[in-house]
């Protein structure tokens, strides 16, 4: 087991990992940028290091600075959290080469799954269903049009290297396609340093279903059921829940077991999430695999009772999965998570500023994950998420009611926030009925605008 771990991240996930390290009795090292010097979770770490200026490239994306912290602190592990360098194979290799251990999948897996078209090819070879798609495109309109006609409009133009919904642009005809490939390529180049794109058939009103995977370094793989992440804005998740509503349990279990079979054969390790699109029937069409802990991991923890961060650390240390997880994993009740962002609730533009008031709810079945306290500032340098609000209840209807009550008990002043949008979705007839899909958030917003007009 590790004796000291560097938490190479910030905000809610840094606070979450620090709690897990305390639970395991492992000494912790927190890092922070100059902009984050006053955040409250830093006081929970055994050691802290400033790693640079506010800009991500000068701090949380600064590999040399983080490796210096590893050396100076004498830590033997580094937890990357999510975002930033969590899916950077080069960084994982450098951490491992330093004599410490990167707490995530092997660099080879991070690299293999980080390039979306190569990941799709690999998973297709092993029988996972795929949405019709193209190979890599250079940005040539004629080449893209030929590929789109073969797939059939509408299509989604997607970055080959990336995630988080960044750079995804829909095209419904040839004219839109020309603009979409230019925009997607430009966004991908700026965000991921790679302009490669590909096309995928755009499913109408699909559900975004993902499966949580844990694996040891000895070839053993388990799944911890699914999460429904269909409620999104700008292709980014806002509300997640487990189990997925109106999804036959036998169907979900069979899909999870099939993924376990494939990943076990390939000897995947530590932690990951298989993301799929589900349009009905029996096929969960493979989208991508995220080789890290997910933002929405808490809903799985709430229904299974398993601490995923503790499990991730123990598996990265080399423990066998049968020693980390119970023989049989079951779920109890229903959990829903809402991501609360400092942003305009209609246009979804970031709204940085001072949190003049931040009163977050508490009580039975309510869990809050945050890196902020009242008086802190949401800066323009990083993701504007203020907190994650997670509820657990005996059934889905009760969980929805509990989440609405928790949102109503939340008080945020000083920045705009998206709680009004979340409330509108939770109150909608379609969400209440479990008829969720990736376009529901936009539909609810459009209905609200029409009602106001």
Annotation marks residue 396 as catalytic:
no
**R_g of the chain, CA atoms, integer Å:** 21
Whether residue 262 contacts residue 358, with contact meaning beta carbons closer than 8 Å, is answered with no
Q: Which residues contact 55 (CB under 8 A, 6 or more apart)?
A: 33, 381
Rounded to whole angstroms, how far apart are CA atoms 276 and 287?
Answer: 5
Residue 262 CA to its chain's centroid (Å):
22
User: Using a CB cutoff of 8 Å and minimum separation of 24, what contacts does 182-189 make?
Assistant: 182/139, 183/157, 184/157, 184/158, 184/159, 185/139, 187/159, 188/159, 188/160, 188/161, 188/162
Q: Which residues pair with 413 in a beta bridge?
A: 357
Whether residue 153 contacts residue 173, with contact meaning beta carbons closer than 8 Å, is answered with yes
| Alpha-carbon dihedral sign for residues 101, 107, 113, 116 | positive
- Which ranges constitute the DSSP H helices of 79-173? 89-97, 107-114, 116-125, 141-151
Q: What angle do CA 371, 376, 378 make, to 5 degrees?
A: 75
- SS3 of residue 98 by DSSP: coil
Among candidate residues 292, 314, 339, 367, the one labeled active-site is 292
Q: What angle do CA 412, 417, 421 make, to 5 degrees?
A: 120
Per DSSP, 165 falls in state T
Q: Measuring CA to CA, which residue among 265, 260, 283, 285 is closest to residue 275?
A: 285
Whether residue 172 contacts residue 237, with contact meaning beta carbons closer than 8 Å, is answered with no
SS (H, E, C) 273-288: EEEEEECCCCCEEEEE
Q: Measuring CA to CA, which residue among 106, 54, 94, 36 is closest to residue 318?
A: 106
Rounded to whole angstroms, how far apart are CA atoms 283 and 347?
Answer: 34
- SS3 of residue 223 by DSSP: strand
Active site (catalytic) residues? 292
């Amino acid at each position: 087991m590790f004796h000291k771990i560097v938490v190479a991240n910030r905000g809610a996930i840094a606070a979450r990992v620090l709690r897990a390290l305390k639970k395991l009795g492992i000494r912790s090292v927190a890092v922070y940028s100059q902009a984050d010097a006053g955040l409250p979770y830093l006081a929970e770490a055994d050691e802290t290091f400033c790693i640079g200026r506010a800009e991500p490239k000068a701090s949380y994306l600064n590999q040399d600075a983080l490796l210096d912290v590893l050396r100076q602190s004498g830590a033997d592990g580094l937890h990357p959290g999510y975002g930033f360098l969590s899916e950077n194979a080069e960084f994982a290799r450098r951490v491992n080469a330093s004599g410490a251990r990167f707490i995530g999948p092997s660099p080879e897996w991070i690299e293999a799954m980080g390039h979306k078209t190569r990941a799709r090819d690999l998973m297709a070879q092993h029988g996972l269903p795929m949405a019709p798609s193209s190979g890599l495109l250079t940005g040539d309109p004629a080449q893209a049009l030929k590929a789109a006609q073969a797939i059939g409009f509408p299509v989604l133009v997607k970055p080959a290297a990336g995630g988080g919904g960044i750079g995804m642009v829909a095209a419904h005809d040839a004219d839109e396609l020309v603009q979409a490939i230019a925009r997607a390529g430009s966004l991908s180049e700026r965000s991921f340093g790679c302009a490669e794109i590909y096309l995928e058939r755009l499913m109408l009103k699909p559900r975004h279903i993902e499966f949580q995977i844990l694996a040891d370094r000895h070839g053993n793989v388990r799944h911890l059921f699914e999460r429904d992440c269909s409620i999104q804005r700008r292709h980014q998740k806002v509300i997640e829940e487990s189990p997925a509503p109106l999804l036959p349990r036998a169907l979900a279990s069979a899909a999870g077991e099939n993924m376990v079979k494939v990943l076990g054969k390939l000897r995947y390790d530590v932690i990951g999430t298989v993301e799929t699109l589900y349009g009905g029937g029996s096929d969960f069409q493979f989208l991508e695999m995220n080789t890290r802990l997910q933002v929405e991991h808490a809903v799985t923890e709430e229904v299974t009772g398993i601490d995923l961060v503790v499990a991730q650390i123990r598996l990265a240390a080399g423990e066998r999965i049968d020693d980390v997880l119970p023989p049989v994993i079951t779920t109890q009740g229903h959990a829903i998570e809402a991501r609360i962002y400092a942003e305009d609730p209609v246009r979804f533009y970031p709204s940085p500023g001072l949190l003049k008031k931040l009163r977050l709810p508490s009580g039975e079945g309510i869990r809050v994950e945050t890196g902020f306290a009242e008086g802190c500032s949401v800066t323009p340098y990083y993701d504007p998420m203020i907190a994650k609000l997670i509820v657990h209840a005996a059934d889905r209807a009760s969980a929805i009611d509990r989440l609405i009550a928790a949102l109503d008990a939340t008080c945020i002043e000083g920045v705009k926030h998206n709680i009004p949008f979340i409330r509108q979705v939770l109150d909608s007839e379609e969400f209440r009925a479990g008829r969720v899909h990736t376009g529901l958030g936009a539909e609810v917003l459009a209905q609200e605008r029409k009602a106001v007009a």
